Amino acid sequence: MPAFLLRREWLLVLLALGFAAVAAGVVYLSRPTTLTVAVGPRDGAEATLLQTYAQALSRGREDVRLKIVTYDDVRDSAEALQKNQADIAVVRPDVLLPENGLTLAILHDEALLITAPESAGIESFPDLSRKRLGVVERHGADIPFVTNLLAFYDFTADTAGEAGPDKVLGPGRVALIPLKPSEVTNAITEGRVDAVAVIAAPASKSAISTVRAVEMASAEKKITFVDVPDGEAIIQRMPELQSVTIPAGTFGGRPKRPDEDVKTVGASYRLMARGSISRYTVASVTQHLFEWRSKLAPQAPIANLMKAPDFDSTVAATSARLPNHPGAVDYFEREQQTLFERYEDYVYLLAFFGGTVGSGIAWLGQRLARKRRERIDVVLDRLLDILREVRAARTMADIDTLVQETDDLVADVVQHARERNIDNRTVSALILAIDAVHAAINDARRSLLGKAEIGDSRKAARSRTARLLSLHNPAAE
């Protein structure tokens, strides 16, 4: 094992790095999710609604934020979603339906509203054969919308240039005359059109003004609301459309207008998201959008027209003609995921691997502690060996060698104690061992020094005796 890992400081550094990684993960998972929203047209009511909603999310410091990107037309916003340049977009399915788009909410419905003077004798859509239909264009897709609907009834659409005011239309042909809102009354009065169509929300200013303009050109202000039958069959052929019912009395008046419900078809402006966006995030977006309706409506009245997509069950919601996002369905079905459910897999993985990592850290700590104990044990064992060797020493040179080794061991222990903690019992054992070795060394030195002095005195005594003997016995020399 590397020597630096034996230092306690490095173990603390590793633990600190681990906690820092966990903290960074928590911060990352808890930061707000920012979604790019494509909105078209720039000056539309949808743009005002979503701008207001984005500001409310930011003020509320919610877990999701919106970055609004505006486009010239709703087709452009749908293309941005299809090209993955946006996470959410305002989409009108009959204009362009993104392949990767799933519905969060219907911002508002627009119905095909056709009105005609009562004297025109037009009560149902098939009655438009050989008639001139004025279309109040509010969007580039309005004329194609009506043209496709005419094709369903095997009608052929003639443009204004192809069908002049004096030209007699043949069976199954309908002339489409683009109109501005200000031209409606005059166009009927002058006989340029027999009926007028507008694609708008039934309660919108555009629809109401069109109805009033047709009334102004009608005798006794009597008008007919043209019914579009076969709605379900039409939707089978054109699933991007939807069946719409205009309730009786929508336009007020006495008698009420219309006097009974009018069946027609229409288009919807939808808020759609990429299917890859997490359902938790989409559920949060959908929840705040509907719960804050009253907060958004003062600045964006269109908020009052928002509604959930129609579905009877979760299966029906995800398998509808225009499928809904699972996250939005979670909110509508009150099955939103909690924070634990959202990160449930991560929690289990963290618990599993965290236990393994914790066991590893515990093993490493025990291993380091064992290494420290082993080092101290080696020193203690050597001190006990020195204690025995001191007792058996016969020369001062042996003693000096053992003294030097003892000093080295003491220096090593002191350095080790400065780098890490040593328990009190171990310190006490080291002190006793070192004191015992020092005492034995002192005893050995005194013993060896005493023997040398006795030897010298005996030699001196023998020398004196020899000299005395030589004095008394000269022959001995």
Who's near 422: CB < 8 A, 6+ residues apart? 372, 376, 416
What is the pLDDT confidence band of residue 335, given thresholds at 50, 70 and 90? low
Report yes or no on 21 lying in a domain. Answer: no
Residue 153 domain boundaries:
101-342
The residue from 292, 315, 342 where one domain ends is: 342
Report yes or no on 79 lying in a domain. Answer: no
Q: What is the pLDDT of residues 91-144, one digit of tens each?
A: 999 999 999 999 999 999 999 999 999 999 999 999 999 999 999 998 888 999
Long-range contacts of residues 318-321, Cβ cutoff 8 Å, at least 24 apart = 321/235, 321/239
Do both 365 and 308 map to the same domain?
no
What is the pLDDT confidence band of residue 472, given thresholds at 50, 70 and 90? very low
Do both 368 and 317 map to the same domain?
no
Do both 299 and 162 map to the same domain?
yes
pLDDT exceeding 70 applies to what percent of the chain?
Answer: 76
CATH of the domain at 157: 3.40.190.10
Do both 338 and 354 map to the same domain?
no
Q: What is the pLDDT of residues 240-298, one digit of tens each?
A: 998 899 999 999 888 889 999 999 999 999 999 999 999 889 999 999 999 999 999 99
Do both 302 and 362 map to the same domain?
no
* Phi and psi at residue 385, to the nearest 5°: -65, -40
- Angle 344-392/424-472 helices, nearest 10 degrees? 10
Do both 279 and 414 map to the same domain?
no
| Cα separation, 265 vs 280, whole angstroms | 33
Most confidently modeled range among 24-38, 67-81, 157-171, 452-466 = 67-81
Count: domains in the chain: 2
DSSP code per residue over 307-320: BPPP-SSHHHHHTS
Instruction: Please name which of 199, 176, 195, 203 lies closest in space to residue 118, comparing C-alpha atoms.
Output: 195
Are the beta carbons of 25 and 33 closer than 8 angstroms? Answer: no
Do both 247 and 325 map to the same domain?
yes
- Tokens (6 digits) for 67: 């970055």
Please, how many CA atoms are within 13 Å of residue 128, restricted to the half-sphere of its CB?
34
Report yes or no on 52 lying in a domain. Answer: no
Q: What is the pLDDT of residues 182-239, one digit of tens each?
A: 999 999 999 899 999 999 999 889 999 999 999 999 988 899 999 999 888 999 899 8
Instruction: Please name which of 138, 254, 150, 264 lies closest in space to residue 207, comparing C-alpha atoms.
Output: 138
Report yes or no on 291 lying in a domain. Answer: yes
Q: Between 348 and 461, whose confidence is greater? A: 348
pLDDT exceeding 90 applies to what percent of the chain?
Answer: 47
Do both 424 and 390 map to the same domain?
yes
Do both 208 and 239 map to the same domain?
yes
pLDDT at 131: 93
- Cα Dmax for the chain: 183
How many CB atoms neighbour CB 384 within 10 A? 13
Q: What is the pLDDT of residues 407-425, one digit of tens each?
A: 888 887 777 766 666 667 7
The residue from 311, 326, 342 where one domain ends is: 342
In order of 171, 192, 253, 352, the CA distances from 120 in angstroms are: 17, 13, 21, 78
Do both 308 and 365 map to the same domain?
no
DSSP H or E stretch at residue 87:
none
Report yes or no on 136 lying in a domain. Answer: yes
For residue 227, give the DSSP letter.
Answer: B
pLDDT at 5: 47
Report yes or no on 380 lying in a domain. Answer: yes
What is the pLDDT of the chain when averaged over all its residues? 82
Do both 379 and 325 map to the same domain?
no
Do both 302 and 231 map to the same domain?
yes
| Cα separation, 43 vs 71, whole angstroms | 9
- Tokens (6 digits) for 178: 């683009």
Report yes or no on 57 lying in a domain. Answer: no
The residue from 300, 320, 342 where one domain ends is: 342
Report yes or no on 264 lying in a domain. Answer: yes
pTM here? 0.66
pLDDT at 453: 53
What is the pLDDT confidence band of residue 475, given thresholds at 50, 70 and 90? very low
What is the pLDDT confidence band of residue 153, given thresholds at 50, 70 and 90? very high
How many CB atoms neighbour CB 354 within 10 A? 13
For residue 129, give the DSSP letter.
Answer: T
Q: What is the pLDDT of residues 358-392, one digit of tens each?
A: 676 666 666 665 565 567 778 788 888 888 888 78
